[in-house]
Each structure stands twice: as structure tokens, then as C-alpha cells.
């Protein structure tokens, strides 16, 4: 191990763990890429660093500047770490109904939190940040949903790491979110191994936090459209809260991976793909899925210890992802 000059040097090159004991088919390997190993604790470290670097290189971001971003947690936390080091004042538009730990981490890094109404969900936070950025043109709005540096970071780092470590990969499964991970990794994998299948999982937002007055308030990230998500992906499925929770607990108790809740959704999606594959007919398969973050920021919800049905119901009031 080397000595590093900054935590920013620790971003990326995350390990992959074989968790095939959770596979429904002995011919199908399940491989977890542990993005929680990044220094601020999630996959978002990659895109936060890339977006800041791109803004610096474009001359938009110089020390003393104000950065604004909507985030339900991980992007905000990653930016908090980076902005602290690089000397920028960070404002995060944070829905009021995220877990308390996310607010605490942001506060620890000295972030200014701008609350957005919980009932408006992530869409409401995006709208509020857009409005504030329009009113304050001197602020730097990184806008992860439309920033090319987001998918590009995954195209340049996450994708090559996966192919290097799992050259026989057959399937890749990840949460949709901004779509940056799937667009970047997916484009890289298909360029190098056109037969690799890409699957998105979507945890449905809680019924009381979907935050829509009408369907016209819906949202498709510009990154998804620009990178041709409809053509790139081979499938997309929703994973129910109860399934996300069950598989998250399996990761913790059966593999020792102390994973956050969206990781359970990705694993549930990977298991579904494994069940459909049928290795007896189609040969062996290797499915890589993303473990976005660790469990630390979700402990207060009781997701790991309380009665599953009670937690699955309360998920309707909290933004978990």
C-alpha cells in the first residue's frame, strides 16, 4: 500500500466480491462491486470528483465560488468532501424527509443545507435548485442529471475496472437514478463486449414522497436521453421495497457486506436475471451488480433490524435512495 496525499486519490478502483452463495443457479456467478469503499462512502464520489474537475478545467469553478446541487444524499456527501478540500462553499438542496444521518454527514462537512418539502420528493429538490441557480448566475450548478462528466466518469473508470476484474462478465445490473452509472458503464461494456446485457432496477419512490401534482411533473434525466438509454438498456424493472430490504439483509447477514438499501434492490434485480438465465441451457453467466454505499446512513430507519412489513410500509414516507 502506498501513502496518498489526499483522500481524493482513493476514489475508484473499488473491489469486487463474489457473492454467488446468493445465486439461485449454481452456474450463475453473482459479483458485487463495492462502491461504498470510496472515501466519502458511495459510488457518487466518482461523479462528484469528475464534475468538479470538469468545472475547474472549464474555468467556471475557482476557489471561493459557491456550488449548488440537489441531492437526496450521496452526491451531496461526495461533493461536501471534495468542496471542503478544494475550497468551495457548497449548498445542497435536500428533501426534508431523508434519513437524519445524511443531514448529519453534510453538516459535519460544513455544508449549507437548503431544505425542500418532503412531499415534493427528489423532483422538488431538482426544481428548487434549478430556480436558485437561475436567480444566482454566479453560483456553479453542477446538475448531475444533465452533466456529461457524470456518465463519462463511469465510462472512463467504473466500466474499465469491471471488465478488467471480470473479463467473462455477461450481465450488468445497477440502479437507474441519474442513469450515469448505467449509461457510462453500459456504453463501455457494450463497446468492448457487445453481448453483455444491461439491466436497470428502479426502486419505486414511496407513494407519499413521489412528489407529483400531475404526471407532467415527471422526470427523465437528460443524461439518459443523451446517451441513448432506451437503446442501450436491455431491460428495466421495479424492485419492491420489501424485496430491496430482504436482499439488503441477505447481503449483510450472509456475505458480511454492510450494504445500503439500494444495493438490495440491485441484488434483487441480479437474482431475477439469474433465475431467468438457466445456465443448463445457456452456459455459465457472470452478473456484476453495484453496491452503491454502506448501511451507515440508514441505520436510524430500522431497516436492518425492525419487522420487515413495518419498515416496508414506512418506506412510503422516507426517501431511501
Partner 1 sequence: MSEATATTGTVVVRLPTVLRAQAEGQSTVQVAGTTVREVLASLVSDYPGLGTNILDESGDLRKFVNVYVDDEDIRFLDRLDTPVAADDEVAILPAVAGG
What is the binding site for partner 1 (CB under 8 A)?
A: 44, 71-72, 74-75, 121-123, 125-126, 144-145, 175-178, 202, 204-205, 207-208, 210-221, 230, 233-240, 321
96 versus 202: smaller Cβ distance to partner 1? 202
Q: Is 44 considered catalytic here?
A: yes
Q: Is 276 considered catalytic here?
A: no
156 versus 210: smaller Cβ distance to partner 1? 210
- Write down the least CB distance from residue 10 to partner 1, Å: 22
- Write down the least CB distance from residue 128 to partner 1, Å: 12
16 versus 233: smaller Cβ distance to partner 1? 233
- Write down the least CB distance from residue 210 to partner 1, Å: 6
- C-alpha cell belonging to residue 147: 452533466
178 versus 248: smaller Cβ distance to partner 1? 178
- Write down the least CB distance from residue 9 to partner 1, Å: 25
3 versus 215: smaller Cβ distance to partner 1? 215
Question: Which of 23, 33, 42, 44 is labelled catalytic?
Answer: 44
- Write down the least CB distance from residue 305 to partner 1, Å: 25
Residues taking part in catalysis: 44, 262
Amino acid at each position: 500500500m502506498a501513502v496518498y496525499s489526499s483522500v481524493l486519490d482513493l476514489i475508484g478502483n473499488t473491489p469486487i466480491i463474489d457473492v454467488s452463495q446468493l445465486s439461485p443457479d449454481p452456474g450463475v456467478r453473482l459479483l458485487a462491486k463495492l462502491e461504498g469503499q470510496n472515501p466519502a462512502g458511495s459510488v457518487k464520489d466518482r461523479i462528484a470528483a469528475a464534475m468538479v474537475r470538469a468545472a475547474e478545467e472549464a474555468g467556471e469553478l475557482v476557489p471561493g465560488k459557491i456550488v449548488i446541487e440537489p441531492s437526496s444524499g450521496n452526491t451531496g456527501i461526495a461533493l461536501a468532501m471534495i468542496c471542503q478540500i478544494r475550497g468551495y462553499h457548497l449548498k445542497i438542496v435536500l428533501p426534508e424527509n431523508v434519513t437524519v444521518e445524511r443531514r448529519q454527514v453534510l453538516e459535519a462537512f460544513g455544508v449549507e443545507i437548503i431544505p425542500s418539502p418532503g412531499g415534493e420528493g427528489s423532483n422538488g429538490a431538482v426544481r428548487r435548485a434549478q430556480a436558485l441557480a437561475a436567480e444566482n448566475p454566479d453560483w456553479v450548478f453542477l446538475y448531475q442529471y444533465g452533466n456529461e462528466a457524470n456518465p463519462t466518469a463511469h465510462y472512463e473508470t467504473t466500466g474499465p475496472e469491471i471488465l478488467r476484474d471480470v473479463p467473462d462478465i455477461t450481465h450488468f445490473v445497477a440502479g437507474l437514478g441519474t442513469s450515469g452509472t448505467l449509461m457510462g458503464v453500459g456504453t463501455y461494456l457494450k463497446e468492448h463486449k457487445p453481448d453483455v446485457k444491461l439491466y436497470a432496477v428502479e426502486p419505486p419512490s414511496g407513494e407519499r414522497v413521489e412528489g407529483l401534482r400531475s404526471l407532467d411533473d415527471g422526470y427523465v434525466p437528460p443524461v439518459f436521453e443523451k446517451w441513448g438509454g432506451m437503446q442501450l438498456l436491455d431491460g428495466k424493472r421495479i424492485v419492491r421495497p420489501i424485496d430491496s430490504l430482504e436482499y439488503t439483509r441477505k447481503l449483510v447477514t450472509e456475505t458480511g457486506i454492510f450494504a445500503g438499501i439500494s444495493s438490495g434492490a440491485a441484488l434483487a434485480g441480479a437474482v431475477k436475471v439469474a433465475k431467468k438465465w438457466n445456465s443448463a441451457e445457456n452456459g455459465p453467466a457472470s452478473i456484476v451488480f453495484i453496491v452503491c454505499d454502506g448501511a451507515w446512513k440508514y441505520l436510524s430507519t430500522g431497516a436492518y433490524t425492525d419487522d420487515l412489513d413495518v419498515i416496508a410500509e414506512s418506506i412510503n414516507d422516507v426517501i431511501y435512495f
